[in-house]
């Protein structure tokens, strides 16, 4: 079924009128009166609608029912990834959205090669958010993950600890596995933090430990910075029964 994302303000109780890119998309699909579509507010709620009119620049819909999206995970997972070179972060945003991440958070750490300035970061955030929106639509999500960029490693740690369970992955950790961490206690939200190409420094890991994050290994092999967060996210989703 065709899916559109609309703003909460556009989702009126009985009728919805979509314009802009949504209207262009509807024209490409050649939607006709009476066809059913799903309209999502990007925050986890959706409407089953019937097309009542397709005209130049807009599509009018009649709301038939409303419900919470069935595509969202039972646990809210935030993916924290240090700034990386090239388009690696873009790849993670797209795939993490498909896998069910609630949000993706980028942050600087000591060994980060990429350190975007304020001007370039603003443009990057706009692009990253569009990538998340496109991936959410393609994968049938009812929620568009928010992409956030923070100014410091400490800020990232502080934000991550707001989750019921916060985990940082470190290649030199050998004793504590992700499975061990996930099996300990109940939680409705999880933060997963990974480092840049050169990894995190020992002092950064110790600071995370002091702030209450679980320090875990992702196995015997060293994963690339764009592989680690997706591996961890997939493991969490499997553990909570999403797969």
Mean pLDDT of the chain: 92
Domain assignments of the chain as residue spans, ordered by start: 3-68, 76-239
Tens of pLDDT, residue by residue over 116-125, are 888 899 999 9
> Looking at the predicted structure, is the pLDDT value of residue 8 above 80?
no
Q: What is the pLDDT of residue 159?
A: 98
Q: What is the pLDDT of residue 7?
A: 80
> Looking at the predicted structure, is the pLDDT value of residue 1 above 80?
no
Q: What is the pLDDT of residue 14?
A: 86
Measured CA to CA, the distance from residue 14 to residue 33 in angstroms comes to 16
CATH hierarchy code of domain 3-68: 2.40.240.20
What is the average per-residue pLDDT within 100-125?
Answer: 93
> Looking at the predicted structure, is the pLDDT value of residue 179 above 90?
yes
220 Rama sector, left if φ>0, alpha if ψ -120 to 50, beta otherwise: alpha
What is the average per-residue pLDDT within 159-165?
Answer: 97
If you ran DSSP here, which 8-state letter would residue 145 be given? P
Measured CA to CA, the distance from residue 166 to residue 110 in angstroms comes to 20
Helix axis angle for 228-239 and 88-99, nearest 10°, is 10
Domain 76-239 has CATH 3.40.1280.10: yes
Report the share of the chain in percent with pLDDT over 70: 100
Report the share of the chain in percent with pLDDT over 90: 66
**What is the DSSP secondary-structure string of 52-106?**
EEEETTEEEEEEEEEEE-TTS-SSEEEEEEE--STTHHHHHHHHHHHHT-SEEEE
Global pTM? 0.86
CB 143 within 8 A of CB 43: yes
Q: What is the pLDDT of residue 115?
A: 87
């Amino acid at each position: 079924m065709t899916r559109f994302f609309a703003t909460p303000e556009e989702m009126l109780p009985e009728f919805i009128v979509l314009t802009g890119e949504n209207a262009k998309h509807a024209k490409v699909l050649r939607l006709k009166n009476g066809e059913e579509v799903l309209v999502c507010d990007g925050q986890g709620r959706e409407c089953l609608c019937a097309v009542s009119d397709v005209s130049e620049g807009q599509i009018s819909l009649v709301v038939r029912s409303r419900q919470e999206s069935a595509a969202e995970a039972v646990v809210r997972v935030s993916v924290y990834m240090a700034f990386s070179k090239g388009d690696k972060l873009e790849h993670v945003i797209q795939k993490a959205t498909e896998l069910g991440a609630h949000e993706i958070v980028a942050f600087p750490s000591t060994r980060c090669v990429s350190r975007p300035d304020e001007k370039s970061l603003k443009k990057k955030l706009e692009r990253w958010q569009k990538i998340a929106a496109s991936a959410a639509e393609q994968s049938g999500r009812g929620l568009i993950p928010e992409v956030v960029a923070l100014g410091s490693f400490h800020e990232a740690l502080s934000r991550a600890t707001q989750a019921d369970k916060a985990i940082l992955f470190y290649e030199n950790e050998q004793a504590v596995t992700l499975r061990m961490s996930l099996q300990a206690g109940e939680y409705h939200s999880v933060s997963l933090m990974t480092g840049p190409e050169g990894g995190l420094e020992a002092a950064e890991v110790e600071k995370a430990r002091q702030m209450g994050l679980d320090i875990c290994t992702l196995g015997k092999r060293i994963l690339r910075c764009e592989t680690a967060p997706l591996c961890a996210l997939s493991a969490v989703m499997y553990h909570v029964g999403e797969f």
